[in-house]
A and B are shown apart, each in its own frame.
Chain A
Amino acid sequence: MQHGKYRFIVGFLAAPLALYAIFVIWPFIQSIYYSFTDWTGLSPDFKMVGFDNYSRMLDDDIFWKSLQHSLWFALLLPLVTLGLALFFAFMLNVGGRRRKGAAIAGVRGSSFYKIAYFFPQVLSIAIVALLFQFAYNPNEGAINGALQAVGLDSIQPGWLGDPDLALWCVMAVLVWSTVGFFVVLFSAGMASIPRDFYEAALLDGANRFTTFFRITLPLLWDTVQSGWVYMGILALGAESFAVVQIMTVGPGGPDYSTTVLTLYVYQTAFRDGQAAYATTIGVALLVVTLAFAAVVMRLGRRERLEF
């Protein structure tokens, strides 16, 4: 067993680790270093400026707006998405009419729903964003068209053009596209909960609400929690970047009403040519992301239930 073991380990780890170090780890370390410089990205020359970028960031209104929006994304999106997904998954798996011989049953056609709900998950977020950008169009869009068709001519919001509405429109798109994934995920989790538990609860006279809060949710808690972290990280990172960048004017929305931290990093670095300041905002994003994950893990910690 020992023969050539270390040569093998090094041989197998070298390429993946080198790739990962060069393209992922090293840029992260560099970013943190650059956040203390005045590097523009356009020229190779820069000098250390200490905490100048950080104090500038604290006075930057757009930064605070982006941070606020990003926090909304991280807190609200998982709440709405996971809430809806839990409801749907419960209905699909346990919400059906009780039949003879089975204490619990899913609604009819539950496999069809699971397939259909999952559709948005396999589409690129770019396609979804473009589709909804068109649907939200105030003059020719499908949503206002549908409102007119049902006689609500008086309600014709500007959607993405309205600073008060734009952020919610963008969030709704992310909810639309991610609920299906969690429905399927929670369904798989619910399927592994032993049926005896439901039968025992039914014998004791529990109704469905009690069953959900006393049996399903506690036993599913680990999955919900990891889903929460996963969704929050997506909402802070790549997903929010794509929808905001594609859908809202600017990009970033009217009067910066939809800008998020990821987008602000991108714009500062590649549009404004202030790479060092961009990395500073990026470091703030890193701190927010790690804090978010830590808080969710901490708040969600409870006794692990074995079953």
Chain B
Amino acid sequence: MKTTDTPPAGIAEDRPQVVKTTIPPARKKKTEGGVLNVFSHGVLVIWAIMVVLPLLWAVMTSFKTDKAIFTSPWSLPDSLHFENWSRAWSQAHMSDYFLNTVLVVGGSLVGTLLFGSMAAYVLARFDFPGNRFIYFLFIGGMSFPIMLALVPLFYVLNNVALLNTLHGLILVYIAYSLPFTVFFLTAFFRTLPSSVAEAALIDGASHTRTFFQVMLPMAKPGLISVAIFNFLGQWNQYMLPTVLNTDPEKKVLSQGLVELAVSQGYKGDWSGLFAGLVMAMLPVLAAYIIFQRQVVAGLTAGALK
């Protein structure tokens, strides 16, 4: 860090073999670049600290006693209080919330990918009356405020006994994930060559078989991107379960944590709450760090299209 602050040393360090061959005008430019470099580096470092510090602080706090949290929020824990974690896992129902979330997200992810790719494939590769209309019907869903639909949907689900059930929530997640999934995969299927599918059809494969055995494997990169996007969206979903899933037994992670924050507020068990928060945070962060490239590609691909 230090060396980049002083331009001449920085140059020397960047490319030791070409030192001191710079002509004066170029040197002047580099000095200007150096001042800016210090400034930009400073801002970048500050933002990195602002992002990472709250997360580290949460991890640290989850190992403290309640008393220590309030008396000295910034000091290190006196010892690692793992009992906070076990208390949060069992007594505060974090294990149930995890299980519910895994079930709901697992079900919806499979459904979203299956239905999304089926619809997108047909819309991308077949000409039929109403194709454009159905496509824009799907796309339009991306810009509508979901809350507007949730008011009647609540009562619709109530009437068909899907309210406060996990399978009902799965169906809703799938339905609300379809607009982006169809949008993204339609664009993706359009880029695939049609000759392979035609060859399969000539060889006697049905359209269905062509789709599952030829086109889907070819679309794998697109499917992975859209799967990551939907996984994060559905795992972190807060608004849909808050409105449509109010049964305490069925709560998913995000709303369970909010519930926990309210109830632990009364009980004063803040360390348990922080343990719960960190517990929910770490798996996703770990997965992100491991699959960093794919996650970034998956999340930004849609917006760059």
Name A residues whose Cβ lies closer than 8 Å to a Cβ of B: 1, 4-6, 8-9, 11-13, 15-17, 19-20, 22-28, 30-31, 34, 41, 84, 87-88, 91-92, 95-100, 107-108, 112-127, 130-135, 140-142, 145-146, 149, 176, 179-181, 184-185, 188-189, 207-208, 223, 226-227, 229-230, 233, 236-238, 241-242, 245-246, 261-262, 265-266, 269-270, 275, 278-279, 282-283, 285-286, 289-290, 293
Which residues of B are found within 8 Å of A146, using beta-carbon distances?
A: 74
3 closest cross-chain pairs (CB), A and B: A282-B148, A23-B175, A124-B236
Closest to A124 in B: B236
Q: Give B127-140 as 1s and 0s: 1 = Cβ < 8 Å from A's Cβ atoms.
A: 01000001001100
Central interface residue in A22, A34, A130, by most chain B CB within 10 Å: A130
Q: A283 to B237, alpha carbons, bound, how many Å?
A: 23
Taking a contact as CB atoms under 8 Å apart, the answer to whether A283 and B148 are in contact is yes
- The one of B32, B36, B144, B235 in contact with A124, judged by C-beta atoms closer than 8 angstroms, is B235
Q: How far is the CB of A219 from chain B (nearest CB, A)?
A: 13
B232 A289 Cβ-Cβ under 8 A: no
New A-B pairs, 16, CB < 8 Å, besides A5-B207, A13-B134, A285-B145: A4-B207, A24-B141, A24-B179, A26-B152, A30-B156, A41-B154, A97-B4, A112-B48, A113-B47, A127-B254, A131-B55, A142-B54, A146-B74, A208-B33, A229-B143, A241-B239
Q: Nearest Cβ in chain B — how far from A71, in angstroms? A: 14
Kindly report which residue of chain A lies nearest to residue B111, judged by CB atoms.
A19
Q: Can you name the residue of chain B whose Cβ is closest to the Cβ of A105?
A: B14
Confirm or deny: B20 has a beta carbon within 8 angstroms of a beta carbon on chain A: no
A123 to B285, CA, bound (A): 7
How does the 8 Å CB contact mask read for B195-206 relative to A, with 1 for contact and 0 for none? 000100100001
Contacts of A1 in B (CB 8 A): 198, 201
Q: A133-B261, A265-B151 are in contact. Are A12 and B121 (CB under 8 A)?
A: yes
Residues of the A chain whose Cβ atoms lie less than 8 Å from the Cβ of B142: 233
Residues of B within 8 A of A176 (CB): 50-51
Decide if the interface of chain B is mainly helix, strand, loop or mixed: helix
**Across the two chains, which residue of chain B brings its CB closest to A278?**
B151
* B82 contacts the other chain (CB 8 A): no
- Can you offer 15 A-B residue contacts whose CB atoms are under 8 A? A15-B115, A24-B179, A41-B151, A97-B4, A97-B34, A122-B232, A124-B257, A126-B254, A185-B300, A208-B33, A223-B304, A241-B239, A262-B147, A279-B148, A289-B143
B116 and A24 form a contact (CB under 8 A): no
Residue pair B304, A270 in contact (C-beta under 8 Å): no
Task: For chain B, residues 30 to 63, give those with C-beta under 8 angstroms from any C-beta of chain A.
Answer: 30, 32-34, 36-37, 40-41, 43-44, 47-48, 50-52, 54-55, 57-58
| Across-interface contacts of A23 in B (CB, < 8 A) | 153, 171-172, 175-176
Q: In the docked arrangement, what's the CA distance between A185 and B300, Å? A: 6
B303 part of interface (Cβ distance < 8 Å): yes
CB nearest neighbor in B for A276: B151
B151 touches A289 (CB 8 A): no
Residues A95 and B40 in contact in the complex (CB < 8 Å), given A275-B155, A293-B143: yes
Contact A127:B280 (CB < 8 A) given known A22-B175, A27-B150, A141-B73:
yes
Whether a CB of chain A sits under 8 angstroms from the CB of B98 is no
Q: What's the least CB distance linking B64 to chain A, in Å?
A: 12
Let me know if B281 is at the binding interface, CB within 8 A.
yes
Cβ of A145 and Cβ of B74 under 8 Å apart?
yes
Q: Which residue on A lies nearest to B278, using beta carbons?
A: A127
Per-residue A-contact encoding for B92-128, CB less than 8 Å = 1, 0 else: 0000000000000000000000011011011100101
The answer to whether B285 and A122 touch across the interface, beta carbons within 8 angstroms, is yes
Structural contact, A122 and B146, CB atoms closer than 8 A: no
Are B128 and A9 closer than 8 Å at their CB atoms?
A: yes
Whether the Cβ atoms of B44 and A88 lie closer than 8 Å is yes
A285-B18 contact in complex given A133-B261, A230-B303, A270-B243, C-beta closer than 8 Å: no
